[in-house]
Amino acid sequence: MNPHLVIAVDGPAASGKSTLAKRLALHFGLRFLDTGLLYRAVAKAMLDHDLDPGDAAAAVRTAEELEAEDVQPNRLKGEAIGQGASKVAAVPAVRAALLPFQRRFAARPPGAVLAGRDVGTVVCPDATFKLFVTASEEERARRRYEELRQRGEAPIYAAVLAELRERDRRDSDRAVAPMRVAPDAWVLDSTGLDADAAFEAARRYIESQLERRHSSVA
Ligand SMILES: Nc1ncnc2c1ncn2[C@@H]1O[C@H](COP(=O)(O)OP(=O)(O)OP(=O)(O)O)[C@@H](O)[C@H]1O
Ligand SMILES: Nc1ccn([C@H]2C[C@H](O)[C@@H](COP(=O)(O)O)O2)c(=O)n1
């Protein structure tokens, strides 16, 4: 029987973690969850009701009432929702409300790949593998800029870079579950790698570790 695999893929905004996590899930036959969508769904629901994502009490109520149909990836893109998500994510009770769903998702067979900021440190501290994907700020801003252009928007590179820095700072400085590299995480700097090369590097790392672990118990 295949072992229950949980792969945590954390990293800053536009590092390519959800692209990588999705491909790893497909390759290893696991389920995939982009945990950022949960925080985005809270922010979107608040914005839709003219609530300020900086209002902690309203954010907690919204997170506690979140329904599965609120989490639709195609409706949760965009910088305003991303910045709002980063604000609601700083509220400890919002994080607590969203935690059980993430843990149940990881626990269901045959296992899962979860992308986020605190998967390896808080959501799944016992994950089979922990990856932290990063890239230089300029490269991440370039990726986000291209993504927005392809969506038909007319982004300004300097503004994209400034928003990305602001979000990184808020995600790293919050008191609860700040974005951190778990001590046992494998760090992948994807600055000079395209999405295929990043996937290949991560696949090789995981498969070589699986072989090593398998031969040490055989
Ligand atoms: N290694 C890579 N090289 C170049 N572009 C990439 C790479 N990985 C992903 N991309 C592209 O960069 C953009 C951001 O990728 P992705 O959405 O996976 O990042 P993310 O870390 O999940 O972002 P966020 O946390 O902000 O949602 C997408 O347009 C994606 O196609
Ligand atoms: N595990 C997570 C996932 C996301 N967040 C917060 C912080 C991000 O700025 C925001 C949006 O995430 P994205 O969709 O851009 O990955 O949600 C978090 O705190 N913890």
What pLDDT does 216 receive? 84
CATH 3.90.1150.10 fits 5-217, yes or no: no
Convert the pLDDT of each residue in 133-191 to its tens digit: 999 999 999 999 999 999 999 999 999 999 999 999 999 999 999 999 999 999 999 99
Distance CA 203, CA 216 (A): 20
The label of the residue with tokens 């950022």 reads 36
Residues near 199 by beta carbon (within 8 Å), at least 6 away in sequence: 20, 23, 24, 27
To 5 degrees, how large is the angle CA 132–CA 206–CA 122?
40
Q: ipTM of the assembly?
A: 0.98
Confirm or deny that 15 is annotated as ligand binding: yes
Tell how far the Cα of 100 is from the centroid of ligand 1, in angstroms. Answer: 26
- Please state whether the predicted TM-score (pTM) of the whole model is above 0.90: yes
Residue nearest atom 4 in ligand 2 by C-alpha distance: 36
Confirm or deny that 190 is annotated as ligand binding: no
What residue segments make up the domains of the chain, in order of their start?
5-217
